[in-house]
Structure 1
Amino acid sequence: MYKLLLPLCLLITSFVTAQQYHLVVGTFTDAGSDGIYTYKFNAQTGDAVPAGSAKTPNPSYLVVSPDNKYVYAANHDEKGMVSAFQFNKLDGSLKFLNQVTSAGAHPCYISINKKGNILVAGNYASGNLSVMEVRQDGQVNQPKQIIQLKGSSVNRSRQEKSHVHATVFSPDYRFLFVPDLGSDKVMIYKVAQGSGALQPADEPFAEVNAGAGPRHIDFHPKLGFAYLIEELTGTISVFKYNEGKLTLVQNTSSHPISYQGAFGSADIHVSPDGNFLYASNRGDANSIAIFRIDQDNGMIQPVGFQPSLGIHPRNFNFDPTGNFLLVANRDTNEIVIFKIDKQTGLLEDTKKRIKVSKPVCIKWIVTK
C-alpha cells in the first residue's frame, strides 16, 4: 500500500508546487505610490516577495482577465479612466497597454465577464456605469454603453445622489448587480451574452433599509445566496438569489452588539469553501467580522470579530488556496496576512506584513 501511495503523494506535491501565485495590489497614489504592485506569494508559508510595479494614478480597484494575461485598473480620479496592463508570468511585471475614459468621475470598481471581452466600470462620484469591449490584444475600447443612475436617500451628506460602488456579475454572468450607495438600491441588469449590453432585469432593483448605503455584494460559491455589505449603517443584508432576483431573508449588524463607534463597513467575501462570511469594518472598528453560514437557509451567525491590526481595512481577499486572508489596511500602509482556521473560520495573525503605501485592492493571478 505504501508503494502505491508514494507516487500519488509525489504527484499531488508536484502539482501544488507547479502552481505560481502572484499577488496584485492597487494603491492610492497621493502619498507617492507607483500605483500597482505585484508580488510572488508562497501559499505554504504566507511569504510575499516583491516582483514588479506599474505607474498609474489611484488604481482603486483591479480585475484580472480570466486567462490571467491582463490586469485592468479603475483610476479613481475626477477624470475617471480605465487602464490596461499585460502581465508577465515569468517575472511578475506589468506592461502598460492603453487607457480609456470610464465615462464618469472617481471610478471605484471594475469587473470582467467570463469570456474576458467585456469590462464594466462603476463611477462613484458621477453615479454611473460604463460598458467597454476588450480587444484580443488586451487593450480596451472606449465605452459603448453608459448608464446614469438617479436617486437619493435619507442621509443627505452621503446620499444626495446616486453613487455606484460596485458592478458585480452573477455567478453565471447573465446578470449584473450594481449597489447604489446613494439610493439604497441594488440595481439589476440583464447581460446580453453576445454584446455584453445591459438592460434592466424583470425586477430592476432590490431595495434595502433607508440610510443603509449598499456598497459591495458577493455570491455564495455553491448555494443560491448573496451577501450585501452596507457602509453607512454597518449592516449586512442576506438575500436568496434566483435567476436575477434578490429576496431578503436577513439583515444583521457587522459589529458586536455592544459597539458604540462610527460605522464605515467596506468589503465582503464568502470563503472559498462556502462555510464562512467575512466583512471589513472601517470607521472606529477597524475589524474583520466573521460569520458562519447556515448551509440550508444562507443566514449568518457571528463567530468572531478580528481586529484588522491596522487602520481603514478598505479591501481584503483570500489567497487562491483559501488558507490565508490578506487585509489591506490603507491608512497604516501595509497588508496584514492572517491564517484561516477552516474549522472555526477564525483568523490568526501570521506576523507577516507587506509594506506598501495606501493599499486599497488585492487580487490574485495563478499561473503554471
Structure 2
Amino acid sequence: MKYYQILVFFIMLCSVISCKTEKERTLLFVGSFTDKKPGKGIHVYEFDNHTGKSTLKFTVDSIINTSFLRLAQNGKYLYSVVESQMNYNGKIAAFAVDSINYKLKLLNMQDTGGRNPAHLEISKTGEYLVNSNYSDPSLSVFKINQNGSLKSYNQVIRFKDSSIIESRQESAHIHSSNFSPDGKFLFAQDLGSDKIRGFNFISNHKDSVLQNENEIKVKPGSGPRHFAFHPNGKFGYGVAELSGKITAYEYNNGNLTFIEDYLSYQQIQDIYRAADIHISPDGKFLYASNRGPEEDSISIFLINQDLGTLSLVGHEPTYGEHPRNFAISPDGNFLLVANQFTDNIIVFKRNLQTGTLKKLQEDIDVSSPASIQMRTYRIKN
C-alpha cells in the first residue's frame, strides 16, 4: 500500500513540475502582397499578450502575393494563397508550423484551378480545404493529407452570373466561403452576382463533396464579400463591400433567414469598400472594417444574443489606409488591423465590457499587409 501511495505521489509531483515548465506562446502570422513579384510574403511574429508588442521571428521570402492565410484548427499547419491577382492560375501553399522555433516549413503547393485565389476555408473535421477564386469565379476543393500537405483539387465548381454595378459586377466573383457551425453546409459569398451560394457538404463522397447548390439572393448592388457565424451557431453576419452594409441572418439547418441590414460606415459615401468581419470570442460584439475612400475605420456593434440584432457602439479610425483584414487575439483582449496601403498593422486593446477599442503604441511595420492569423500554443520547456 505504501509503495502505491509513493508512486501516486511521484506521478502527481511530475505532473505539477510539467505544468510549471509549460508556457503559452502566441504567434502572429501576416500575409502580404508582394507587388506581383517574388518578395517577403509571410511574416511570423511572437505576440506579447500583456503588452501587445510583436517581435519578428521568421519570414518566408521569394514568394508572390501571399494575400490570404488560414491556420488549421490544430495550429500545426498554415495555408496561404500564392500568386493572387496574377494573369494566370494561382496556387495554395501548405506549411508546417514549428511553434517552438518560430518557423514555417513548406510542405507543397497546388494549383487552384483559377485566377486570383482570395480566401481559404477549412472544414470542421480538418479534412478539406476550400479555396475561392475571384477572377475565374469558382470554388476549388482540396483533400488535406495526414501530414498537412494538400492533394490536387478533387472538385472545381465554376459560376456564371452578374448584377447591376457594371464596373464591379460584370461577372460572378467568389470572394470567400464559410462552413456552417454544424459543418454540414458551405456558404460562398459571390460579390459579382449578389448571391450567397449554399452547398451541402458530403465529406464521405469521393469526388463531389459540395452538392445541391442553393442560391440566397441579397439586395442588388450589395456585393457580398465576407461572412462570420456567431459562436452560438444561431446567427450569421455578412459584410457587403459595395453597399457598405452588414446583414444579420438567422441560421437553421442550412438556411439563412434575413433579419436586418446595418450600415457599417459612419459617413454616407458615394462609393463603399467594406472588407472584413469578425465576432469577439465571447460572442458579444461584432466588428467590420471599412476601406475608404473617405473613411478608414472599424465599426463596432453589440450583438443581441437572443435575437441576433445589432446595436451600433461606435467607430474607431484605423490610423492607416485600406484596412483589408483584421483579427482578434485568441484571448479577445486585442484587435489588430492590417492597413494595406500604409504598410502598417495597428494594435488596439479591447474593452471586454463595452467592446470599444484603444490604440496602443505597438504598431507593426510590414509591407502591404493583407491577412492576419493568430494562435496561442502551449510550449514545454
Q: TM-score, normalised by structure 1?
A: 0.92
1:69 and 2:88 aligned: no
Change (3 A) 1:15 1:295: farther
| Residue aligning to 2:7 | none
> Hey, which bits of structure 1, 4+ residues long, moved more than 4 A?
14-17
In 2, Cα distance between equivalents of 1:111 and 1:59: 15
Structure 2 contact 277–289 (Cα < 8 Å) conserved: yes
Residue deviations 1:123-173 (CA, integer Å, cap 9, x gap):
000110100111112211111000011110000110011000001111121
Contact 2:178 2:186 in 1 (8 A): yes
Cα 1:16–1:166 shift into 2, 3 Å: farther
Worse-matched range after superposition: 190-199 or 82-91: 190-199
The CA distance in 1 between the partners of 2:73 and 2:283, in whole Å, is: 21
What's the CA shift for 1:312?
0.2
Partner of 2:271: 262
In 2, are the aligned partners of 1:314 and 1:360 still within 8 Å (CA)? yes
Q: Give SS of 2:363's match.
A: strand
TM superposition shift of 1:261: 5.4
TM-score normalized with structure 2 length? 0.89
Superposed counterparts of 1:217-366, under 5 Å: 217-256=227-266, 258-260=267-269, 262-283=271-292, 284-366=294-376
Read off the aligned partner of 2:357 and give its amino acid letter. Answer: L
**Which residue of structure 2 aligns with residue 28 of structure 1?**
33
Q: Which residue of 2 aligns with 1:150?
A: 160
Larger Cα-atom Rg: 2
Structure 1 match to 2:9: none
Residue 125 (1) aligns with residue 135 (2): yes
Shift of 1:295: 1.5
Q: 1:44 aligns with which of 50, 53, 56?
A: 50
Label 1:32 to 1:159 Cα distance change in 2 as closer, same or farther (>3 A): same
Structure 1 position 296, deviation (Å): 1.7
Report the residue type matching 1:44 in the other structure: H
Quote the Cα distance in structure 1 between the aligned partners of 2:101 and 2:301.
38
Does the aligned pair in 2 maintain the 1:33–1:357 contact within 8 Å? no
Instruction: Please state if 1:171 is matched with 2:177.
Output: no
Q: Structure 2 unaligned segments of length 5 or more: list them.
A: 1-15
Per-residue deviation at 1:194? 2.3
Give how far 1:114 is off.
2.4
Instruction: Say which SS state the counterpart of residue 331 (structure 1) adopts.
Output: helix
Distance, in Å, in 1 between the alignment partners of 2:73 and 2:104 is 16
Residues 211-270 of structure 1: per-residue CA shift (max 9 Å, x gap):
0000000000014010000000101111011111000010121112x4335310000111
Which whole-Å CA distance do the structure 1 matches of 2:184 and 2:97 have between them? 28
Match of 1:127, as an amino acid? P
For the 8 Å contact 2:181–2:233, the answer to whether it is kept is no
CA contact (8 A) 1:35 1:54 kept: yes
Aligned-partner SS, 1:166:
strand
Kindly tell me the number of residue pairs found equivalent between the two proteins: 353
* CA distance 1:192–1:15, shift in 2 (3 Å): farther
Task: Tell me, in whole angstroms, the C-alpha distance in 2 between the residues paired with 1:245 and 1:16.
Answer: 47
Question: Aligned equivalents of 1:353 and 1:38: distance in 2?
Answer: 15
Q: Residues 120 and 176 of structure 2 are in contact (CA less than 8 Å); yes or no, is this contact kept in structure 1?
A: yes
The offset of 1:18, in angstroms, is 1.8
Contact 1:225 1:238 in 2 (8 A): yes
Question: Residues 343 and 98 from structure 1, CA distance in 2 versus in 1: closer, same or farther, beyond 3 angstroms?
Answer: same
Aligned-partner Cα distance in 2 for 1:351–1:221 = 31
Checking the alignment, whether the CA contact within 8 Å between 2:326 and 2:336 is kept in structure 1 is yes
In structure 1, C-alpha distance between the alignment counterparts of 2:73 and 2:353, rounded to whole Å: 30
CA distance in 2, matches of 1:228, 1:93: 34
Return the alpha-carbon distance in structure 1 between the equivalents of residues 185 and 100 of structure 2.
35
Take 1:15 and 1:115, find their aligned partners in 2: how far apart are those partners? 32
- Residue 189 in structure 1 maps to residue 196 in structure 2: no
**Residues 63-142 of structure 1 aligned to structure 2 (within 5 Å):** 63-75=70-82, 76=84, 77-78=86-87, 79-142=89-152
Q: Is the 8 A contact 1:151 1:183 kept in 2?
A: yes
Q: Deviations over 1:26-63 (max 9, x none)?
A: 00011874111101111111111111111321111111
Q: Aligned partners of 2:91 and 2:306: how far apart in 1? A: 42
**Gapped regions of structure 1 (runs ≥ 5):** 1-10
1:335 positional shift: 0.5
Structure 2 counterpart of 1:53, from 48, 52, 59:
59
Maintained 8 Å contact 1:262/1:285: no
